[in-house]
A and B are shown apart, each in its own frame.
Chain A
Amino acid sequence: GQSLEQPSEVTAVEGAIVQINCTYQTSGFYGLSWYQQHDGGAPTFLSYNALDGLEETGRFSSFLSRSDSYGYLLLQELQMKDSASYFCAVRDRRNAGNMLTFGGGTRLMVKP
């Protein structure tokens, strides 16, 4: 089956950099996604990595190492509005790659 591990909670101060790690076990791996969810809100897509390396989108970057079954989300210049839960999700061969299995989420608290 599939399993993902990510820290349950991370705290950082405004303006800092934080890294949220995700390790996974799956078969027929296609790629790793990251989603953000504010309290009471719907998850929103942040990034997708299918190949090894770092993808940068503004203040957010996502990294993948397929050989290590590991990825991370890097948030720079933290702002209070970044306080949210962050989920990694693997896309694997189930249903021709149209399925996502989500991790338990990392709750990020940004303090002033």
Chain B
Amino acid sequence: GAGVSQSPSNKVTEKGKDVELRCDPISGHTALYWYRQSLGQGLEFLIYFQGNSAPDKSGLPSDRFSAERTGGSVSTLTIQRTQQEDSAVYLCASSLGPSGNEQFFGPGTRLTVL
């Protein structure tokens, strides 16, 4: 079956604009994760969804960041009033939860804030 997909693959925006990034997890995977990766760096955890439980938002860097997961499937990460330091690759992953160890990653969205 299809893997994790993300859209858009690239997004260039101006400072101060809002952006929405989309993630389609693997069908049947109940756990969904968002990460941020700056050039040459590791993966920074942002937010975690598990089924219908309240999401773990502990990794969101500021209140400009928010995420939703509708119907236990598709997720949208929204960044409001983007700043240049938000430029990074945003990766989505899903796993066969709970306690699914192997996370399957999407190709990421490369966000550039000018």
A residues neighboring B (CB under 8 Å): 31, 33, 41-45, 48, 87, 91, 94-105, 107
Tell me which residues across on chain B come within 8 A of A102, comparing CB atoms.
35, 42-43, 45
A97 touches B99 (CB 8 A): yes
Q: Mark B47-69, 1 if CB is under 8 A from A, else 0.
A: 01010000010000000000000
A87 touches B43 (CB 8 A): yes
Shortest C-beta distance, A78 to chain B (Å), equals: 22
Taking a contact as CB atoms closer than 8 A, the residue among A42, A98, A101 that contacts B31 in the complex is A98
Tell me which residues across on chain A come within 8 A of B100, comparing CB atoms.
98
Interface size class of B (residues with CB under 8 A): 20 to 34
Distance A42 CA – B107 CA, assembled complex (angstroms)? 5
Distance A62 CA – B100 CA, assembled complex (angstroms)? 19
Q: Does B106 contact A (CB under 8 A)?
A: yes
Q: Tell me which of A98, A100, A107 has the highest count of chain B C-beta atoms within 10 A of its own C-beta.
A: A98
Tell me which residues across on chain B come within 8 A of A107, comparing CB atoms.
40
B residues neighboring A (CB under 8 Å): 4, 31, 33, 35, 40-43, 45, 48, 50, 56, 91, 93, 95, 97-108
Distance A2 CA – B6 CA, assembled complex (angstroms)? 28
B45 touches A105 (CB 8 A): no
Distance A48 CA – B95 CA, assembled complex (angstroms)? 14
B41 touches A105 (CB 8 A): yes
Smallest CB gap from A42: residue in B: B105
